[in-house]
Chains A and B, each alone.
Chain A
Amino acid sequence: METFLGIDYPTLWYLVVGLLFSGYAILEGFDYGAGAWHLFFRKDMSRRIAINAIGPIWDANQVWLIIGGGALFAGFPVMYATMLSAMYIPFMLFLMLLVLRSAAIKFRSAEEMTWWRKTWDIVYFLSNTLIGFLLGVVLGNVLQGFELHENHVYKGGVFLTFLNPYAILTGLTTLSIFMTQGAIFLLLKTEGRLFARLTFLLKKGMIFFIVTFVFTSFYTLIYLPGVIDKFKENPVFFVIPILAFLAVANVPRLVSKKKYMQALIFSSLTMAFLLMLVAFQLYPVLLPSTINPAYSVTIYNAASSQKSLGIMLTIVLIGAPLLAMYFLFLYRTFNGKVKLDDTSY
């Protein structure tokens, strides 16, 4: 098996996919999170500002979903195919909500009528909230494993099995961390009374996050006992949950010091550490089988050929710096508080 810097290709690609998913969670985390607060703002103007805070960047942030999905398809086609077809209903809902969310952003402020804007506000709020929730639900299901038989054939339930208690908990946790992230992002983008309102909402968001996080952690430790085996073998990796905890704890401190940019970085780090935790716990498995561990989808039995992975790693090495440059340029252009003009939504 070919290696690069002593790491085999499937593991490298696992890291690439993990990085892309983290980027997606962090960037779209504040997009979706901002949207999940939408109905908590009362005035039409506040809602417009909140949408325009993400206006110029949400399309770019969505690139991370597209590349992440592409990377999963490209590197681990078996995982991509098995997970999406087994989680058919949640993914279809997720995709539909993405479409509705885009429509809400584009069309909400296009008309003056109150009923028009109120309707789109509800669509926007619900789509953002449910997208965050569903992403967490899928993660919760992956952690618990699927009913995979030989050749990774899924024979589990097809309609509502995805809504089990653990998945609901991880769904709420994901939503709460998105909302925290979203509120901090909006603090960077707003002024005056909306800003004051957000300072208040952020506190609620943090409490929501801490509560769901504690519940999820306990549930995981009690009902999914396998999860700490890895850490018992390699105690060194206990540093990840500790770092995650420290990052969370740092957020309110920075907010009270009015260092919002740093707070955003630390809440992003929280997400990154939590995803690392999941990634480390699963590795090298991608999708555990609840029937027999031998039927699990792993990075080795799901991976594309060495040749293909090599090509894609080259593509990433060329493409990632380019993408980073585009993003720097975009974010620098739209740095600072929202100012509405005739091109705004």
Chain B
Amino acid sequence: MDTEILARIQFAFTVAFHYIYPPLSIGLGLLMVVFEGLYLKTGKKQYEILTRFWLKIFAITFGIGVATGIIMEFEFGTNWSVYSKYVGDIFGSALAAEGLFAFGLESTFLGILLFGWNRVSPKVHFISTIGVFLGSMFSAVWIVVANSWQQTPAGYHIVGEGLNARAEVTDFWAMVFNPSSVDRIIHVWQGAFLSGAFLVLSVHAYYLLKGRYVEISKKAFKIALAVATLVSLTQLASGHSSADGVAENQPAKLAAMEGHYEPSAAADLYLFGWVDNDSQEVTGIGVPGGLSFLVHQDFEEPVAGLNAFPKDEVPTQVNAVFQFYHIMISIGMFLIGLTLYACYLWWRGKLFEKKWLLRIFVLSALLPQIANQVGWFAAEMGRQPWVVYGHLKTSDAFSQEVSSNQILFSLILFFVVYTILFLLFLYSVNKKIKHGPYEEAENPNEFLKYT
């Protein structure tokens, strides 16, 4: 296989694997802040138990997130050296800010969060929890800023030509607040909150089904449900705003997302479908003119299709972009329905009576994870053939001096190590869940051996 394809496979594999963990850390971080805050406010042991229990799962998640994240930082240089030189001037300040402001905060306070229970006061511990949570949120900001700049470059100019061409920053704040940054940061945060909230929902639904830790599980379930409902609903708004931005700034990507080819015609909005890139046809069920309506509030208004752009400036994997995008939206809609229905039952006082619903919640932890993954796949594949939209093509961006054998070597190594890591993650999280938040034989209000 050629170097470019291997480099792309390796990057996709390592970044997709990495992205299982940070969203979970951010989401669990939010819930730990809530649990620990409630503990400090009410003084109830139950909240302390919840904080300590979720902290254990958070610790593993965070650890793997950091370990796999460091690889990403260096993989730009090893496999994408042309790209690194091209964007270093711009990307660099975002990465430097991420390291100093975000990662410095989260990693130093992590030590106190994990090992400081007996060394600092509860208040200082709570501040450390907030520090770690905020650090992980800031991390997301800077990383998404860098990626958004690749989607919608702003605040820069290009200097040099050919191999020596590179982007230089002219306006830092315009670079940071490029047209897609804010929408995408919020969208990513929300995706992260959902993955954390649904893991909490899933585990406590499991306990409720088993009749274990019933008291605290009901509390945790309700808190996580409130978060999940609020975020799923607002996710719709940020998703819509994000799509509007794509329509304006990356029209070819939008066209690929809905499989819209005609250069200038009203575009449909599909519920689901299948795109044939050769015949340029979509088979599926959708609202005629729906995309035109979403973009222009008019069912008749034309939207630029893929054929409106030069052949070599549109994504070739249209069906993949279409599918990933639609899976993300379907999951988002499903989560809204699920949480609203659960809230309705909660309001009627029947939240924990329907076993089938709890079973769905047990499985639901996977859904935000899948949505996060496919959402990014749609965003990144939809940007192709560009790595920096409109400026640098992916096929020009990889390290020319690295041979395909070298990448094959590292790819196999990654595959082996990450498989082991993933199995260890599943094993130890499963073990912690099976073991539960405390020894059941004892009264939760008196059991704590460390108090």
| Residues of chain A having any CB pair with chain B under 8 Å | 55-57, 59-60, 62-63, 65-67, 69-71, 73-78, 80-86, 88-89, 91-92, 95-96, 98-100, 102-103, 105-107, 110, 151, 153-155, 158-159, 304-305, 307-308, 311-312, 315-316, 319-320, 322-323, 326-327, 329-330, 333-334, 341-344
As a 0/1 sequence over residues 73 to 89 of chain B, the CB contacts with chain A under 8 angstroms (1 = contact) are 11111110110110111
Write the nearest CB–CB distance from A286 to chain B, whole angstroms.
Answer: 13
With both chains docked as a complex, state the minimum distance between the C-beta of B437 and any C-beta of chain A, in angstroms.
Answer: 14
**Smallest Cβ-Cβ distance to A74: which chain B residue:** B92
Please measure, in the bound complex, the distance between the C-alpha atom of A70 and the C-alpha atom of B99, giving whole angstroms: 7
Additional A-B contacts beyond A59-B63, A88-B406 (19; CB < 8 A): A60-B111, A62-B70, A71-B96, A77-B92, A81-B85, A85-B402, A91-B74, A92-B409, A96-B413, A96-B414, A96-B417, A103-B421, A154-B401, A305-B89, A305-B168, A319-B101, A323-B100, A330-B112, A343-B118
Contact B114 A56 (CB under 8 A): yes
Most buried by A among B71, B84, B104, B403: B104
A84-B81, A92-B410 known; A60-B108 Cβ under 8 A: yes
Q: Which residues does chain B contribute within 8 Å of A107, judged by CB atoms?
A: 424, 428
Q: Say yes or no: B78 contacts A92, CB within 8 Å.
A: yes
B347 at the interface (CB under 8 A from A): no
Show 7 A/B contacts (Cβ-Cβ < 8 Å), sorted by A.
A62-B70, A70-B73, A71-B96, A76-B88, A82-B81, A103-B424, A110-B428
Per the bound structure, the CA–CA distance linking A334 and B103 in Å amounts to 20
- Smallest CB separation, A100 vs chain B (Å): 7
Docked Cα-Cα span, A70 to B103, in Å, equals 11
Contact A102 B67, beta carbon cutoff 8 Å: yes
Beta-carbon contact of B115 and A326 below 8 Å: no
Q: Which residues of B contact A320 (CB under 8 A)?
A: 100
Which residues on A sit within 8 Å (CB–CB) of B406?
A: 88-89, 92, 158-159
Interface SS, A side? helix
Is B172 engaged at the interface, CB distance under 8 Å to the other chain?
yes
Q: Is the CB of A315 within 8 A of B100?
A: yes
The interface residues of chain B lying within 8 Å CB-to-CB of A327 are: 108
Q: Which residues does chain B contribute within 8 Å of A329, judged by CB atoms?
A: 108, 112
> Which residue of chain A is the closest to B413 with respect to CB atoms?
A96
- Give the Cβ gap from B95 to chain A, nearest Cβ, in Å: 4
Among residues of A, the one whose C-beta sits closest to the C-beta of B157 is A305
Q: Which of A319, A333, A344 touches B119 (beta carbons < 8 Å)?
A: A333
Q: How far is the CA of A57 from the CA of B119 in the complex (A)?
A: 14
Chain B residue at minimal CB-CB distance from A310 = B172
CB within 8 Å: A-B pair count: 230
With A67-B104, A330-B112, A342-B450: A73-B98 Cβ-Cβ less than 8 Å:
no
B292 to chain A, nearest CB (A): 41
Residues of A with C-beta under 8 A to B431 = 110
Q: Across the interface, do B89 and A308 meet the contact criterion of CB distance under 8 Å?
A: yes
Q: Are A56 and B92 in contact (CB under 8 A)?
A: no
What 1/0 flags go to B424-446 for Cβ under 8 Å of A? 10001001000000000000000
* B window 186-211: CB within 8 A of A: none
Contact of B84 among A67, A81, A153 (CB under 8 A): A81
Which of B67, B81, B103, B110 is within 8 Å of A99, CB to CB? B67
Chain B neighbourhood of A305, CB < 8 A: 89, 159, 168-169
Q: Mark B residues whose CB is within 8 Å of A.
A: 59-60, 63-64, 66-68, 70-71, 73-79, 81-82, 84-85, 87-93, 95-101, 103-105, 107-112, 114-120, 159, 163-164, 166, 168-170, 172, 399-403, 405-406, 409-410, 413-414, 417, 420-421, 424, 428, 431, 449-450
Interface SS of chain B: helix, strand, loop or mixed?
helix
How far in angstroms is the closest Cβ of chain A from B66? 7
Residues of A within 8 A of B68 (CB): 99
Across-interface contacts of B97 in A (CB, < 8 A): 315, 319
Bound Cα distance A343, B112 (Å): 11
Beta-carbon nearest neighbor of A320 in chain B: B100
Q: Are A80 and B115 in contact (CB under 8 A)?
A: no
Q: How far is the CA of A336 from the CA of B399 in the complex (A)?
A: 47
If A70-B92, A92-B413, A158-B402 touch, whether A326 touches B81 (CB-CB below 8 Å) is no
Which residues of A have CB within 8 Å of B82? 81
Q: Across the two chains, which residue of chain B brings its CB closest to A75? A: B92
Nearest CB in chain A: distance from B426 CB, A? 12
Bound complex: CA A341 to CA B449 (Å): 11
Give the CA-CA distance A88 to B81 in the complex, in Å: 11
Q: How far is A304 from B96 in the complex, measured between Cα atoms in Å?
A: 13
Q: Are B402 and A322 in contact (CB under 8 A)?
A: no
Which one of B75, B92, B399 has the greatest number of beta carbons of chain A within 10 Å?
B92
Q: In the bound complex, do residue B111 and residue A59 qualify as a contact, i.e. CB atoms below 8 Å apart?
A: yes
Residues of B within 8 A of A89 (CB): 406, 409-410
Distance A315 CA – B163 CA, assembled complex (angstroms): 29
> Given A91-B78, A316-B96, does the pair A322, B104 have CB atoms closer than 8 Å?
yes
A287 to chain B, nearest CB (A): 13
B107 and A60 contact, CB distance less than 8 A:
yes
List chain A residues, Cβ under 8 A from B424: 103, 107
Give 3 closest A-B pairs by Cβ, nearest first. A77-B88, A74-B92, A84-B77
- Residues from chain A with Cβ under 8 Å of B81 in the complex: 81-82, 84-85
Q: How far is the CA of A74 from the CA of B109 in the complex (A)?
A: 25
Partner of A81, one of B77, B120, B170, B172: B77
Q: A60-B111, A63-B108 are in contact. Are A308 and B93 (CB under 8 A)?
A: yes
Quick check: A66 and B70 within 8 Å, CB to CB? yes
Query: Taking the nearest CB of chain B, how far is it from the CB of A141, in angstroms?
Result: 15
- Evaluate contact between A322 and B78: CB separation under 8 angstroms: no
CB pair A88 B402 closer than 8 Å = yes
Q: How far is the CA of A76 from the CA of B117 in the complex (A)?
A: 42
Report which of A80, A86, A105, A308 forms a contact with B401, defined as CB distance below 8 A.
Answer: A86
| Bound-complex Cα distance A320 to B96 (A) | 11
Q: Provide the bound-state CA to CA distance between A88 and B77, in Å.
A: 9
Residues of A within 8 A of B104 (CB): 63, 67, 319, 322-323, 326
B67 touches A73 (CB 8 A): no
CA distance A76 to B90 in the complex (A): 12
Question: What are the residues of chain A within 8 A of B84 when measuring CB–CB?
Answer: 73, 77, 80-81, 84
Q: Knowing A63-B108, A65-B70, A106-B63 are in contact, say whether A343-B114 is a contact too (CB < 8 A).
A: yes
B417 in contact with A80 (CB, 8 Å): no
Given contacts A102-B63, A326-B105, whether A85 and B115 have CB atoms under 8 Å apart is no
User: When the two chains form their complex, are residues B95 and A74 in contact, meaning their CB atoms are under 8 A apart?
Assistant: yes
Given contacts A316-B96, A342-B450, contact A56 B115 (CB under 8 A): yes
